[in-house]
Each structure stands twice: as structure tokens, then as C-alpha cells.
Amino acid sequence: MPNKIRRKIRKRPRKPNARIRIVARAKLPTRFGPFEILGIEGRSASESAVALVHGRVRSGKPLVRIHSQCLTGDVLASERCDCRAQLELSLRRIAASPAGILLYLPQEGRGIGLMNKLRAYELQDSGMDTVQANEELGFAADSRDYAFSAAALKLLGVRSVRLLSNNPDKVQQLENAGIRVVERVPCRPRTSLVSRTYMETKRTKMGHLLDSL
């Protein structure tokens, strides 16, 4: 019998633009205004984003919000945080601007995931603040990385943005990844008294730019 020959299958090298791609695109009418919704994926499950695009974002400097998923706030209307209020304010402002993008990212609990976020809630109920709870669970106060966000913006033809954010770390990470932030636009919706402690922690322990609470 002939000897079996083991054939090596050479994998094709990935093209540079294969690292990130648009996998779906559709119209999305909302109560804030009309958007185009895009599904964007990278090489892993953690590299994904939904982009809501308004206007011609390739020209000029679009208004951009990078928003981390928050099931309890965005969907269940929790008042422990200001996430839903920021999301709605951002959609309203982007729809009213000449061009803008909302990137919605699966970074629940500042990157620790939904179940760990609920564990952090439990610790907060016993007296910890949001930073202490994350650290008690073995995480950083904020585990988010914005390299994929920057890559998604570049995929959409955007290199300079007006960024809706109170978070200087987000600004710095985008700048380091090649996205020029020409203006930081405060994202300060009206919030409830319940979320004031949470926001005070963001201001004093995480450096968020929140002047008057």
C-alpha cells in the first residue's frame, strides 16, 4: 500500500481589511429620527458593534457617541446609572446634527459582563461604590478598550470626530488609536437623585468631567 502523504494546507493570509467588516446594513426609523443601522464585526466575538449612522459622516467632523451596552439602564430603565439618559440624549443630538454616529458596544458593566455587573450591584447594596465593587470582584474600575471603536470609525471613513462624552480616558484612547477628537461635547442629560452617588463616584474616582451634580 502506498504511504499516506500528509498534505499541509496553507491558510490564506488575511487581507488587512478583513480584520473588520460590515456584515449587515438597513434603514432604522426611530422616534429620534431616521438612521441607518450597521452591524460591524472583527476577528472575535468581543469585537462587534452596532453603528447608527445619520447623514454623510465621511465629510466634515461628525458628532459621535461611543456607548457601552447597559441592559439594566438602556432596556430596563434602571436609575442606578445615567446610561439610558445618555443614550437618548445622544440619539436626539446626533439626529439633529448634519452628520453623526452612535456606536453601541457589548461592554456591559464597563467591560466586566452582565453577571459580574449584577454581582457588583449586590456589593453596592452592602455599601460599596461602583469602583470598590468592581475591584472587590478582581476587575479594574474600568476595563473598556476603545481600539475596536477606533477601527470601526475608520471603516466608516471617519478620522476626526466631535465626541459626546464626559470620559477623558475615552478621548485619550481614541486619539492614541488614530482618531482625532477635535471637540469633546459634554453628555449631561437630566438624571435622577438615585443616580447622583454613582455619578459622584465617576467624577471623583474615575476623573469624569462632571462639574455640577
Nearest to 50 by CA among 28, 72, 31: 28
**Strands (DSSP E) found in the chain:** 21-30, 33-41, 48-54, 63-68, 100-105, 160-164, 180-185
Query: In whole angstroms, what is the distance from residue 7 CA to residue 79 CA?
Result: 60
Among this protein's residues, is 142 annotated catalytic?
yes
Instruction: Report the amino acid identity of residue 73.
Output: G
Catalytic residue among 74, 110, 142, 188: 142
Is residue 110 exposed (0-12), middle (13-18) or buried (19+ Cβ within 10 Å)? buried
> In 75-103, which positions are buried (b, 16+ CB within 10 angstroms) versus exposed (e)?
eeebbbbbbbbbbebbbebbbebebbbbb
Among this protein's residues, is 119 annotated catalytic?
no
Query: In whole angstroms, what is the distance from residue 159 CA to residue 146 CA?
Result: 14
Query: In whole angstroms, what is the distance from residue 50 CA to residue 164 CA?
Result: 17
Catalytic residue among 144, 145, 180, 196: 144
Query: In whole angstroms, what is the distance from residue 116 CA to residue 83 CA?
Result: 17
User: Active-site residues: which are they?
Assistant: 142, 144
